[in-house]
């Protein structure tokens, strides 16, 4: 019996199916970054719900919410409706990335999970750049309403494809994918039409909504390893957000053109050196991807909830940092403001040293889910 349990694969999805699932959830997560407005509460609700009742129904619901909001935004003529619908749009879009992490945890073993998360982050980081270019071209040549029509068309097409083909991956409901889910909402239309027979008996799980979902995501912070990973990721995200949000007219009247041209060669040299360092840093892999992958490894059964807690903390920290950055520049000066950012970043080092001391516990958990 033990030999059979050991030989049981982590997932029955073949490499091609896992790749398609990865791209499907990554495309879904794109909508969380391409719309720019973020929601800190919605991922805590929908992420926890995805862990409880399945990835498929929650992902379809959030995309449907996003689709409906985009159609409303394209049609509305009232400012109040515009604000409300933007909040609804954000609630639907911002939850997709937490669900995507859940799907990745369901279908990938820890040794492959880093590359899966890298693909996901590649999609989500590229989306704002692409979205800004397309949005600028569309608003310049057509109308701002067409931005929302394009988002509605893209999300609607993706929603139809997921409705037809996306299988349920939650290990709580389908194990390694070899168990037929109990509820029809967890079945893809393709699976229902082909009457795929289960290899094992369905797992009977009641459908229920837990109104304490947002607080459940905060429970992950009680685990010290989770807390350190989330805090370090939140600090890194906050520094990045503050640097992007820094006002551009810090020194009014300053001869910026002359100064930039006179100092162009030191700037190019510094940029080149920094680029080399950045590349080798990525080669060594101490990137935020590692923290997010580790967070998934530490919470394989509730990965969407864990990512929702990370989203909540990073957004709160980033909001506080961006709100304070202008006051810091005025009170401390630009140089000391950036020095403070560097100090905040350096605080991650002792935190990660503490995590290194707890490495055996983390590795023990990861081996338990191989």
- For residue range 228-237, list pLDDT tens digits in order: 777 777 777 7
Domain boundaries, the chain: 10-204, 214-368
What whole-number distance in Å separates Cα of residue 200 and Cα of residue 195?
15
Name 166's bridge partners. Answer: none
Please report the pLDDT score of residue 152 as a whole number.
Answer: 94
Model's pTM, two decimal places? 0.76
Given this model, what pLDDT does residue 366 score?
47
Report how far residue 77's alpha carbon sits from residue 79's, in angstroms, rounded to the nearest whole number: 7
Q: 65 with 42: CB under 8 angstroms?
A: no
Predicted local distance difference test score (pLDDT) of residue 268: 62
What pLDDT does residue 138 have? 82
Give the homologous superfamily in CATH for domain 10-204: MFS general substrate transporter like domains (1.20.1250.20)
pLDDT of residue 306: 80
Query: Is 59 in contact with 162 (CB distance < 8 Å)?
Result: yes
- Other C-beta atoms closer than 10 Å to the C-beta of 292 total 24
Residue 202: per-residue pLDDT: 57
Per-residue pLDDT at 102:
92
Q: Give bridge partners of residue 1 from the DSSP assignment.
A: none
pLDDT of residue 3: 47
CB 257 within 8 A of CB 345: no
Indicate the length of the chain as a whole number: 370
Spell out, as residue ranges, where the chain has pLDDT lower than 50. 1-5, 247-251, 254, 260, 278, 281-282, 284-286, 360-364, 366-370
Cα(168)–Cα(216) distance, integer angstroms: 22
């Amino acid at each position: 019996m033990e030999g059979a349990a050991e030989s049981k694969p982590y997932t029955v999805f073949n490499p091609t199916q896992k790749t398609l699932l990865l791209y499907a959830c990554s495309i879904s997560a794109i909508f969380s970054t391409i719309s720019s407005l973020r929601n800190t509460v919605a991922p805590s609700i929908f992420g926890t719900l995805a862990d409880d009742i399945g990835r498929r129904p929650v992902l379809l619901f959030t995309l449907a919410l996003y689709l409906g909001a985009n159609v409303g935004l394209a049609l509305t003529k009232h400012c109040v409706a515009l604000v409300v619908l933007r909040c609804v749009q954000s609630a639907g879009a911002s939850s997709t990335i937490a669900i995507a992490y859940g799907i990745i945890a369901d279908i990938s073993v820890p040794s492959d999970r880093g590359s899966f998360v890298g693909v996901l982050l590649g999609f989500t980081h590229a989306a704002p750049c692409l979205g800004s270019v397309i949005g600028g071209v569309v608003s310049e040549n057509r109308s701002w309403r067409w931005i929302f029509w394009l988002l509605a068309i893209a999300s609607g097409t993706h929603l139809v494809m997921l409705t037809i083909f996306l299988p349920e991956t939650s290990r709580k409901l389908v194990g390694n994918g070899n168990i037929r889910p109990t509820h029809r909402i967890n079945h893809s239309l393709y699976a229902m039409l082909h009457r795929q027979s289960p290899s094992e008996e369905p797992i009977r799980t009641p459908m229920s909504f837990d109104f304490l979902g947002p607080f459940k995501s905060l429970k992950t912070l009680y685990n010290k390893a989770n807390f350190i990973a989330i805090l370090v990721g939140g600090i890194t995200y906050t520094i990045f957000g503050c640097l992007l949000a820094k006002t551009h007219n810090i020194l009014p009247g300053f001869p910026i053109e002359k100064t930039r041209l006179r100092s162009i060669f030191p700037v190019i040299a510094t940029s080149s050196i920094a680029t080399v360092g950045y590349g080798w840093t990525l080669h060594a892999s101490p990137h935020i991807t590692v923290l997010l992958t580790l967070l998934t490894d530490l919470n394989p059964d509730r990965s969407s909830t864990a990512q929702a807690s990370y989203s909540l903390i990073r957004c709160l920290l980033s909001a506080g940092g961006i709100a304070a950055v202008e006051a810091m520049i005025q009170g401390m000066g630009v140089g000391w403001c950036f020095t403070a950012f560097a100090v905040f970043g350096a605080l991650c080092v002792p935190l990660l040293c503490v995590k290194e001391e707890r490495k055996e516990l983390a590795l023990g958990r990861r081996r338990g889910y191989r």
